[in-house]
Structure formats: C-alpha cells, structure tokens
A and B are shown apart, each in its own frame.
Chain A
Amino acid sequence: MSDPREPIIRFDHASFGFPGLIALKDISLDIYEGEFVGVIGPNGSGKTTLCRAVLGLLAPVEGHLHIFDCACDELRCHHRAKIGYLPQKGVVDRNFPVTVLETVMMGRYGALGLFKRPRRKDYDIALEALAQVGMESHKDNALGHLSGGQQQRVFIARALAQQPKVLILDEPTTGLDITTQHNVIELVQHLHDELQLTVLLITHDINMIRSRVDRLVLLKTRLFAAAPPADVLKPEILHQVYGKDLVITEKDLVIVEDYHHHH
C-alpha cells in the first residue's frame, strides 16, 4: 500500500523485549501526522510496550523505529520531547505535595533541558495547557484534592505543556466512572481536532473509541490489523486475537454468548 504522506512514526520490522521474552514481534506500521489511532488488544498483548518504544524508553532488539524521520535506534533522541505521554496510572498519592500548576510545569522541564530555569513564557504555556483541558481555575489547588477525572485532565495538560506533536495516552479512562470516561475521551477528541495532534490512544474500551478514531491497531504480540475500525472489527479477526466469538451490533461489540443470552 502506498501513501503519498510521510509517516511521523514508522516501525520497520521492529521487535521489542528481551531475547526469549519478546513483547512485540516484527511490527511494521506507519502512523501519519494528524491521525487518531486507537491501540487495542488483550492484556499482555504489547500495547504499553508499543507506547514505551515510541517514547524512547525501549530500543528495538530487531528492526528499526523512525520517529519524525529520524532513526531513533539511539534512545533519548531529542525528538522525544515532542511526544506527550499520559502514563497508565494508579491513583496518585493523595498527599503528594504538588499543586496543579507545579504538575503541569513538569511538562516544560524536558523541553527546557538541563540548567535552564522556567521563565514567564513557560508558565504561560502551562497555563494555556490548563485552559485547554478546562482546569485553569484549579491551578493553585493540591493535585491530590482533585477527583480522578480532574487528575487525568491535569496529566493531559502536563503532556500538552510539552507542546507535543504526538500525544500518547495509555488507558486514560481506567478507574473513572462512565460519564467521566466519556468526558475524557471527548477532551482527547477535541484536542486532536483543535491542535491537529497525532493521537495514539490505548484502551480496552473499543466501543468508546471506535466511532472516533481514524484507525485501530490490533495487537497480540504481533500486529494483527491496522486499519479503519470497520475493517478491524470483524468477527474473524477479533476471534484470532481475543479467542472468543465477538459480534458487532449496530452500536456495540459483544461477546457472542452474552449476545445470545440477551436476545
């Protein structure tokens, strides 16, 4: 398949992990600027490994990974600061003594580099990031006093303060109630549209994202599919990965047994 656009991230037969324990094998995948990509797959399928690789926390043991047209086989390429990241997170220590603005300012530290102190401009960028997630009125509050959904917004603002080209979110809705989950995904969609960010969103909740993403990447150690949702969410493909018969209804994706049970 040829695409006239240049990929912003290119996996070229790349494998990650350790010899004898390969988490991702022979991945070839192009991600283009401005794409909204959902990454799905069962537990332990290598979704987080894929993120960590793009972030420069892991080098390929085979193959290559190019980011922003740079062969980033070397970890800590300077381009990494252009990738904002919302890690999979347990609940923050509620007493960790950090304010919302201090948390978001940390997003500037990597971009600033060593020996440079944050200036007025950096505070302005952090405040703007907070405004983008609707949390500017909380800037002086303790992070630990916020709700789970508000904390996620602050962490997204921290990623935005890096002024990233790519935003990676690792299960951003885990542990949130349904309304809050919806709001967080809405926010991500809005940021993608507004800031033309390339978004990689890892999730287990296929239903939540399938109408929003340009493509779904389906992983289980290998890359099973990377295509528009309608082409990925087919019973035969899902069966290979999840080992269960899944059926796609008008709105939902349901395990067959449950589907028969309800109908």
Chain B
Amino acid sequence: MLDLLAYDFMQRSLLAAAMVGGLCSVIGVFVVLRGLAFVGAGTSHAAFAGVALGYLMGWPPLLPAILFGLATVWITGWAEERGRMKLDVSIGILYTTTMALGILFIGLMKTYNAEVYGYLFGSVLSVTPEELQIIGALSVLVLGLLLLFAKELYFIAFDQEMAEASGVPARQIFFLLLTLVALTVVVSLKTVGAILVFAMILIPASTAYQLTHSLAALTLYSAAIGILTSVAGVVMSALWDVPSGPAIVLLATTVFFISVFFSPKRVRRARLAHSH
C-alpha cells in the first residue's frame, strides 16, 4: 500500500478526496439541519447538465456547472421565499429538467465522451494537478465563508424566523448557504460524481447526528467522518481496483448504519420505551 503513495496520481487523489470529503461533510451539517437534503440532489444533477453543455460547446466544463448549480439553488430559494412553491416541489421540477438537459447535451455530442461520464460517476484517481488547484481554491473559499458565518448559519438552521426576529440577516444567510451548497457540489463533481456527491453531503452529517447533542461536536464529527471515509474509500478503490465514488459512498453508508446501531440517542429511546 505504501508503494501506491509514491505515485503522483495517488497523492493527488488522496488530497482531492480529503478536501472534498471534508467540505461536503461540513456543509452537510447545515444541509441536514436546515432540511435541504433534496436541494443537494437537485443541484448536483443541474451541475452535471452544465458539465455536459461545457463539453458540447468546448467550454471549460466547471464554469457552466457553477452557473447551472447557482441558478438552480437561487430559483428554488426565491420560489420558497415568495411562498410560490414548496422547496421540494421546485427542486423536483428543476432536478428533472436539468437532468433532461444533460441527457440532451450528451445526445447532441457527435462522439462518445468518457470524460463526461467521469463527472456522473466520479473518477478521483484521474484528478489532474490543475483540477486539484481548483478544488483546493474553492474548498478554501467555501470553508472560509462557512467559518465566517458559522453562528448565523447554525441559527437559521435551528430556527430561521427566530434568527430574523433577533436581527440576524436570515434571508441573506439562507441564500449564502444555498450558494455554498451549489459550489460544494461543483467542487465535488469530478471526485465523487453527480450522483454520489449528494451522499457525501448527507451521510457524514447524518452519521454524526446519531452520535451527539451538540452543534459544535456535530460539525467536528461530521468533518472527521467525511475525510476519513473519503480517504479510505480512495485507498480501497486503488487496492481492489473498484470505482472510487461507490467505494467512498458505500464505506460511508456502512459507518452510518453502525452509528445508528450504537447511537446513544437510540439507546436512550429504547430505555425510555422500556421504562414506560
């Protein structure tokens, strides 16, 4: 296994996995607490449509991916705020529409393009130095903003109206959160793929949710679980020659089920039920 670490591509993959795992799992805390799980799924498919358009037109794929992702979350947030539509309905419509666009763009390409499918299923082992730089820069940006606005983000996740009533610019913070979700999804596309990025956002935070009653601890546990399962998933992927995205996600899911089983919350619930 140590031989593997000598390869440049392996070093890049592990670094990319650690960054993406950490980023997804930290933003995942706010996504899970604020009930935005479906937004993560919708955004990743919208971003994938952007990637497909990029390849079709010969543009750098991440640029239209960011635009598609941002457009999706902003339209969704706006529709919910106006009371026009529930979040899950508008994201459901955009999710399927952008997926249809993605398939259309792929269909319009004259030749088979394996790279596009890399964004759908993830191929962390083929991350290039340039892509690693982009992942690094966007990770620093998103994590920096999360840290800067952490107390406001926690507050709106817990109770947005209360936050607004006590003078927090809750609306702007909510749109910031949506924007950061979109950026995280785009950063992670190449590593875990459009289909599995959603799992990387949800699973570490949901696992940590089983283990603690403190917001601060939740965030730390989630980050640790995200980074460790991503790195371990890449190692397994290289050792056993299996695709990296599924390796990471299946490992994270296994940890999730173990945490549910040993959750102090579950034990407490069982005790309460027993005592009544």
Contacts and interface: CB of A to CB of B under 8 A. Distances in A.
Interface in A115-163: 115, 117-118, 141-145, 162
Nearest to A100: B213
A36 interface: no
A contact face: mostly helix, strand, loop, or mixed: mixed
Contacts of B148: 115
Interface stretch (B85-93, B105-113, B120-128, B156-164): B156-164
A188 interface: no
Nearest to B212: A97
B161 A107 contact: no
A98 B213 contact: yes
B32 to A, nearest CB: 10
Contacts of A98: 158, 213-215
Given A98-B213, A98-B214, A109 B163 contact: yes
Interface stretch (A22-30, A75-83, A176-184): A75-83
A110 B163 contact: yes
A85 B166 contact: yes
Contacts of A97: 33, 209, 212-215, 217-218
A87 B165 contact: yes
B165 A99 contact: no
A113 B159 CA distance: 17
Interface residues of B, number: 28
Nearest to A97: B218
Give chain A's interface residue range (CB within 8 Å of chain B).
35 or more
Contact of A110 (B166, B213, B214): B166
A144 B268 CA distance: 12
Query: Among the interface residues A87, A103, A109, which one has the most CB atoms of the partner chain B within 10 A?
Result: A109
B203 to A, nearest CB: 16
Contacts, number: 84
A80 B151 contact: no
Nearest to A87: B162
A118 B163 CA distance: 16
B209 A106 contact: no
A110 to B, nearest CB: 3
Interface in B122-173: 148-149, 151-152, 154-155, 158-159, 161-169
A107 B159 CA distance: 12
A2 interface: no
Nearest to A51: B165
Given A80-B167, A109-B152, A87 B159 contact: yes
Contacts of A76: 167, 169
A95 interface: yes
Contacts of A103: 158
B164 to A, nearest CB: 6
Interface in A51-95: 52, 55-57, 76, 78, 80-81, 83-85, 87, 95
B152 A107 contact: no
Contacts of A114: 149, 152, 169
B216 interface: yes
A95 B165 contact: no
A99 B218 CA distance: 11
Nearest to B213: A142
Nearest to B205: A97
A40 B168 CA distance: 29
A95 B162 contact: no
Query: Among the interface residues A56, A57, A106, A117, which one has the most CB atoms of the partner chain B within 10 A?
Result: A106
25 contacts: A55-B165, A56-B165, A81-B166, A83-B165, A85-B162, A87-B159, A87-B162, A95-B209, A96-B33, A97-B33, A97-B214, A97-B218, A98-B214, A99-B213, A102-B215, A106-B159, A107-B166, A109-B152, A109-B163, A109-B166, A109-B168, A110-B163, A113-B167, A142-B213, A145-B213
Q: List the 6 closest pairs (A to B, CB-CB), nearest first.
A: A142-B213, A110-B167, A110-B166, A81-B167, A55-B165, A97-B218
Given A110-B167, A114-B152, 7 more contacts: A55-B165, A57-B164, A76-B167, A110-B168, A115-B148, A117-B151, A144-B213
